[in-house]
A and B are shown apart, each in its own frame.
Chain A
Amino acid sequence: MNFPSWTLLGQSLLSGIFIGSLYGLLGLGLSLSWGMLRQINLAHFALAFLGAYLTFQLTSVVGMDPLMTLALILPCFFAFGVLMQWLFSRFAISPFNSLLVTFGITVIIESLIQWLWTADYRRMDSVYADMKFKVGTLYVPIPELFTLLIAILLSLSTWALLRYTDLGRALRASAEDGQIAAAFGVNEKKLALLLSGFSAAFAGVAGLCLALSYTLSPSQIYAWIGVVFAAVMIGGLGNPIGPLVAGIVIGVAEAITMALISPAWAPLVSFSLLIIVLLTRADKI
């Protein structure tokens, strides 16, 4: 094992933080719907990739600014989230069956993406793609920094919303015990629709970040599932800050593994961390 230079180590640390923030951003919506709606939404990943492809399409073909695409994508995704939750409550889907149904949705979206954009790799060219600045010897790419800031902003504001507003209190109450909350006048069904809508919109934001910094292909949908679920579980279900913190921890651990051992082994890091967490503090998840 050759010890890499400090610059290389610093640069990988930085990229670990950046990719970790994307884990956290993807995990945020997932954690909320698992922790508060008891719904394991595998389709979240497919939705994020659909968002990324839509951003790609609107930017490359229509010529919109990537950031402006959110104005179109977010309302559509919000509606999709609401519709999905409506379906789940209409058919009284159990948490476990939600996993199966969203697995089905994932496969359909994946097929749709493959049909529309083929299985080839796609990379979005945008004005932001090559923007970066230098701090000391380290390069900071703007799109990645943007992802980090967005992830922090969304996580913190979700946390504040849940903690300090009446809406947040009602949400937490119905997550704790839906029937009791309903007896106290909380409109549980409506809140669930709202939450699911927000969760799907978060997937849209994550999609934008994916499109800004990563090469897209339909099969990539599945590559993120394991790591992000690890971040969600380590961070604690329903906790809006947890996935980001855990995501950054995982991202940094992966980056260090890549720098010190070999890039090829990085995928094992998150699962090792997850297994350690499951073995040592399973009761606290």
Chain B
Amino acid sequence: MKSSLPTSARIAVVGLGLAAVPFFGLPPFYESFLYLIFSAVVLATSWNILSGYSGYFSFGHGAFFGAGMYTTATLAGRLNWPFLWTLPAAGIVAALLGVGVGAVVFRLRRLRGELFALLTLAVTFVLATIVLNTPIDGGQGVSLSAVALPKLLSSPSSTLYILGLAMALLTLWIAYAVYRSKLGTGLFAIHDDEDVAEVMGVPTFRYKLVAFGLSCGLAGMAGGIHAMFISYVTVGETFSIIVPLNVVLMSVLGGTRHWFGPAVGATVITALLYAFTAGDFPVAGRAAVGLILIVVILFMPEGILGRFIPRLEGRKRPKEAPGSPAVAPATLKGGEAKGETLLTITGLSKAFSGLQALDGAALQVRRGEILGLVGPNGSGKSTLINLVSGHYRSDSGSIVFAGQDVAGLPAHRVAQSGIARTYQIPRPFLHLSVLANVALPAMFGAAALDRQAAEREARRWLEFTGLAAKADALPGELNLHQRKFLELARALASRPRLLLLDEVLSGLTPAEIGHAIETIRAIRDLGASIIFVEHVMHAVMELSDRIVVLNHGKVIAEGQPQDVMRRPEVVSVYLGKPHA
């Protein structure tokens, strides 16, 4: 069954086959029907580039499609541009519109998925209002009947068929290329856990904008062709809710996690809707679409391809991997000499609506040392990690890492400069394999490896952390101990110069703690510098070269472990003050 052709060649072969259809002299009706399927394939597939891959569901795809329609209608119908020249313009207008919307909504941190969905829905109506009330439409609609369709083929319907086909192939090829690219990997990581993706070095804001721009641009170009197909453009028909509804449904039905899923869904739904319309039940068709949407979400949220592709792939995946011998992990030494200052934090403050989590904290990390960071719950340890890794922005103070002030940098830039962290409660990308989880920071973090090199690097660190046998498993199949080590492997795979370990030992059994301590010691021996946040005191005493004690957001003690833990102010923080 398995073809040896690469996928892009297969797309080309199928495309050539379909391109021959007009030469068989089919009645125009069939060409128009196939054109409608191609148009739906373009819409659903382009929608999926952002919404399926990254999980940001857009309900405004109709607006971008419509923007393309009106661009072509205006340029060709009123300004007499040649039709084909209007298509790139239609794509650009729609893409710019999308990027503008994205620039507002992609900055949000909370409820971003929901707000994105609603704002894109709103865009449809805003655009409809603008188009209706300006000379773009003016309430009359725009006719393109006078526009000359270039004679690519003998009949107009064949020409539109070929244009639609070309557009569908282009869109599928782009969707496939994104799927396989670093951009696609980043988008899938955003889908699972956007904050973690950003901390691992994925430039989430830029990726979402690029994906949205592509998605809208393709929809816009398809709109340009469609304006010619229907030849009379009106606001009511263009900016209706039907387009986004159908697009979402097609993609969800086909499977949003696969580049080809939306095309499958688009074909099925278009044929179905056509059957209803032909049978004079358009309203029933709409209701059926709504009903299918509900049933699919409830019973088959992963879609047709999502359900069946893993089974097919499971069959053909023996993999060369387990045999390949693990190379010793790379060194984690940076350029600096041992003992030199790597990280200097001064006057670092952060308040959360009145609660002063960090209050002028200052500390230094030297190269090659393990700095134990201890303090009671709520003393600001996790906030400090979140500030250094760039997840939060500090209110004041500086964080100088290897000579560069990283305070205020977006988290992905911090990661790329060589800082990696683990999470106390492991946050793996749940839909990515263990191997892909570890390869991602190797691609996006400081190491910036290409995909193959990143997977090799990931296998090394899986070997190092004892997870090699689980490389192809999903994180959900791991126990807590293994998930904690997955966190470690992910942080290490970016080859960080500074590693922030946030309570890696919490929740582990004493035997597992012993194992973890050995691993951390081995990491240090590779030359890494580590900030070690921990409540398990014997591990802190055993591993740390120096200790910093935080309380109420301030550093209250710093020095050699044995010495610091004996100081009265530290003892009183941990055990309370004796009443006189």
Contacts and interface: CB of A to CB of B under 8 A. Distances in A.
Contacts of A225: 118, 121-122, 125
B117 interface: yes
Interface stretch (A122-130, A203-211, A266-274): A266-274
A279 B294 CA distance: 33
Contacts of A112: 287
Given A104-B293, A225-B121, A282-B108, A111 B129 contact: no
Nearest to A99: B117
A96 B113 contact: yes
Interface string A237-249: 1000000000000
Contact of A104 (B130, B133, B294): B294
A112 B284 CA distance: 9
B524 to A, nearest CB: 38
A9 interface: no
A275 B122 CA distance: 11
Interface string B85-107: 00000000000000000001101
B109 A95 contact: no
B532 interface: no
Contacts of B291: 104, 108
A243 to B, nearest CB: 14
A194 interface: no
A275 B104 contact: yes
A108 B129 contact: no
A226 B115 CA distance: 11
B122 A110 contact: no
Contacts of A140: none
A16 B403 CA distance: 58
B121 A268 contact: no
Contacts of A115: 283-284
B177 interface: no
A282 B107 contact: yes
Contacts of B57: 96, 99-100
B290 interface: yes
Nearest to B101: A275
A278 B115 contact: yes
Contact of B114 (A95, A105, A262): A95
A173 interface: no
Contacts of B241: 222
Nearest to B125: A226
Contacts of A40: 114, 117-118
B481 interface: no
> Which of A91, A110, A262, A282 is the most central at the interface, judged by chain B CB atoms within 10 Å of its CB?
A282
B64 to A, nearest CB: 16
Interface residues of B, number: 41
A69 interface: no
B132 A264 contact: yes
B245 A103 contact: yes
B302 to A, nearest CB: 12
Nearest to B122: A226
B108 A108 contact: no
Given A91-B298, A112-B287, A115-B283, A264 B114 contact: no
Q: Is the interface of B mostly helix, strand, loop or mixed?
A: helix
> Which of B111, B114, B115 is the most central at the interface, judged by chain A CB atoms within 10 Å of its CB?
B114
Interface string B122-149: 1001100110110000000000000000
A94 to B, nearest CB: 9
Interface residues of A, number: 42
A22 to B, nearest CB: 17
Interface string B493-519: 000000000000000000000000000
A112 B288 CA distance: 11
Given A105-B290, A267-B129, A229 B122 contact: yes
Interface string A77-101: 0000000000100010101110111
A156 interface: no
A105 to B, nearest CB: 7
A97 B292 CA distance: 14
Interface string A245-285: 00000000000000000101101100100110011001101
A142 interface: no
Contacts of B115: 233, 278, 285
A114 interface: yes
Given A101-B297, A108-B290, A282-B109, A264 B129 contact: yes
Contacts of B113: 96
A233 B122 CA distance: 13
Contacts of B286: 107, 110-111
Contacts of B133: 262, 264-265
Contact of A285 (B105, B110, B122): B110
Interface string A197-227: 0000000000000000000000000110110
Contacts of B289: 107
Given A100-B252, A104-B293, A223 B125 contact: yes
Given A111-B284, A226-B121, A96 B109 contact: no
A12 interface: no
B496 to A, nearest CB: 30
A28 B298 CA distance: 27
Nearest to A114: B283
Contacts of A95: 114
A237 B129 CA distance: 27
Given A95-B114, A265-B133, 20 more contacts: A40-B118, A87-B298, A96-B55, A96-B57, A99-B57, A101-B294, A104-B292, A105-B290, A107-B245, A107-B289, A111-B283, A111-B284, A111-B286, A112-B287, A114-B283, A115-B283, A225-B118, A226-B125, A264-B133, A278-B115
11 contacts: A93-B298, A101-B293, A101-B297, A107-B290, A108-B290, A111-B283, A111-B284, A111-B290, A225-B122, A226-B121, A233-B115
Of all A-B residue pairs in the complex, the 9 with the closest CB atoms, nearest first, are A107-B290, A111-B287, A104-B293, A104-B294, A226-B122, A264-B133, A104-B290, A108-B290, A267-B129
